[in-house]
Amino acid sequence: MKDIDIFFKEKPLKMICLGFSSGLPILLVFSTLSVWLIQAGINRSTVTLFSWAGFAYAFKYLWSPLVDNYNLPFLKKLGHRKSWLLTSQILIIIALVLTAFTDPQNNLFFTALFISLLAFFSATQDILVDAFRIESAPQSLQGPMSSMYIAGYRIAMLVAGAGSLWLAALFGTEIYNQEVWKKVYLAMSSFMFIGIFATISSNEPKIKRNLKTKNHLQFLFAIFFSVVGFIFLYSIIDNPFDKKDIFLTFLFSIIRLIICFIFAFLIIKFLILIKFTSEEKISKSYLGPIINFVKRYGKFAFLILLLISLYRIADVVMGVMANIFYLEKGYKISEIATFSKFFGVFATIIGGFIGGYFSFKFGTMRGLFFGALVAALSNLLFAWLAVSPISINFLVAVITADNISSGFAGAAFVIYLSGLTSIKFTATQYALFSSIMLFLPKLIAGYAGSWVDVMGYAYFFSLTALLGLPVLLLIFWIGKVAPIKN
């Protein structure tokens, strides 16, 4: 029982509140917003353009050095991390309130503007919460801290997803009424005070930093211009190949991303040439964390980065097809919503607690290995479901097992990434790791539908399980040759 008590200490309990604060905005940027826009009469092609706001989460590494190295000129008494964290939370509330008062039916521009700001502030908060969690407790306590963070995050997604739509139905959504969605987003903004309470009542991590207080704006605008340039170029380069040609389309996507990264780099280089920002400052902010990581792990640094990029591949590639599979199999939307979106959340939370406890009790690498194993094996259950007759009992069993394994693997992986992160570059390195974690899986997942067209669901799910085998071998090898170094 003493081991279980560690989850209910002050720091893990406050982490559930910060996890809630991180999880709340993301569905208000995506799925809940989509329902609002569709009801307002916005066409589907325009609605999907709002997914570009997700670039803020994908490329948060680009401005993470700002929150790592620069002090805010206000709220200094709170401390470096707390001042940034509180500021981001207040800005999220402001963005939610501003969004609430827009009407996409009459002026879509302002809705898009404030949603983009919401995504930016939300991604910034994610950077800070991750850094705050890592710096607030030693590696031995990262299991309970990560489990509580995941629990709070999932509860918030339930509130922002099912909860916001329930509120919309309560206020009346049969006929479009902007007042309904204004009330929904204002109600959601009030939940952010849970995170604000946790921030104010928590202690500032006791980490010595060599912080800078000058030239914030030049650095920030340099990064802003490079990100805007990346997104603009990415949006105007069209795929010249037939989408049915999976290999060429995949290859083109990689080339397009490389071109966009080069373009963003050239923008920064130009700003350095005209002395808008300092080359030394950019170099220290971005190369410093990478050099630190390579120095600590030497020749094994590449293997570790490869593991990070592959760890969630089986889970992510399979997950993108899950809802489509349920519908095409013949399950009802109400059944999917109840068992996948509602009960599935609680199964993920339970899995997160089990994963955190397992890593705390038996070690980070063992937790990482077992998490990868159960995540891959759970995909085989989907292959079995694909060839089985329609049965609610089968559906519940597979969804429960999948969400528990996903929660376990997620908690174990967060703990591992936390251990890899140097205290000197907490925010920047963790943001880099989390970006690498999703890049390749998300890129491959975009072609999952084409794979299903070729081989069918049963073979597709079996293939995604096999994708987990290289991960297991990497974990076994890295655990022996490259233990965690803080």
Minimum mean pLDDT range among 55-59, 87-91, 269-273, 460-464:
55-59
* Tens of pLDDT, residues 152-173: 998 998 898 878 888 888 887 5
Largest CA distance in the chain: 67
Task: Using DSSP, state whether 215 is helix, strand or coil.
Answer: coil
Under DSSP, the state recorded for 141 is G
The better pLDDT of the pair 235, 411 is held by 411
What is the per-residue pLDDT across 342-399, written as a single tens digit (0 to 9) for each? 777 888 889 988 988 898 888 889 999 999 999 999 999 999 999 999 888 998 899 8
Supply the DSSP symbol for 340.
Answer: I
Among candidate residues 255, 481, 250, 471, the one with its CA nearest the CA of residue 374: 471
The count of C-alpha atoms lying within 13 angstroms of the C-alpha of 433, restricted to the half-sphere facing its C-beta, is 28
> What is the distance between the alpha carbons of residues 425 and 289, in angstroms, rounded to a whole number?
6
Q: Report d(CA 400, CA 156) in Å as an integer.
A: 19
Mean pLDDT of the 255-277 span = 87
Q: Write down the mean pLDDT value for the chain.
A: 84
Same fold, 1-211 and 294-486: yes
For 70, list phi and psi in degrees, rounded to 5.
Answer: -120, 135
Nearest to 266 by CA among 237, 233, 220, 292: 233
Q: Which two tokens stand for residue 217?
A: 């704006």
Tens digits of per-residue pLDDT, 217-243?
677 788 778 878 887 887 788 777 766
Does residue 486 have a pLDDT over 60? Answer: no
Phi-psi region of 213 (alpha: psi -120 to 50; beta: other; left: phi over 0): alpha
CA dihedral 94, 96, 101, 105 (to 10 degrees): 140
CATH of domain 1-211: 1.20.1250.20
108-136 vs 10-29: helix axis angle to the nearest 10? 160
The structural domains of the chain, with segments of one domain joined by +, span 1-211, 216-277, 294-486
Amino acid identity of residue 50, one-letter, is: F
Give dist(CA 123, CA 121) in Å, integer: 6
Question: pTM for this structure?
Answer: 0.79
Beta-bridge partners for 212:
70
> ∠ at Cα 33 (27, 37), nearest 5°?
165
Q: What percent of the chain lies above the pLDDT cut of 70? A: 91
pLDDT of residue 212: 60
Whether pLDDT at 1 is above 50: no
Q: Which CATH class is domain 294-486?
A: mainly alpha
Q: What are the residues facing 70 on neighbouring strands?
A: 212
The arithmetic mean of pLDDT across residues 27-33, rounded, is 83
pLDDT at position 2, please? 54
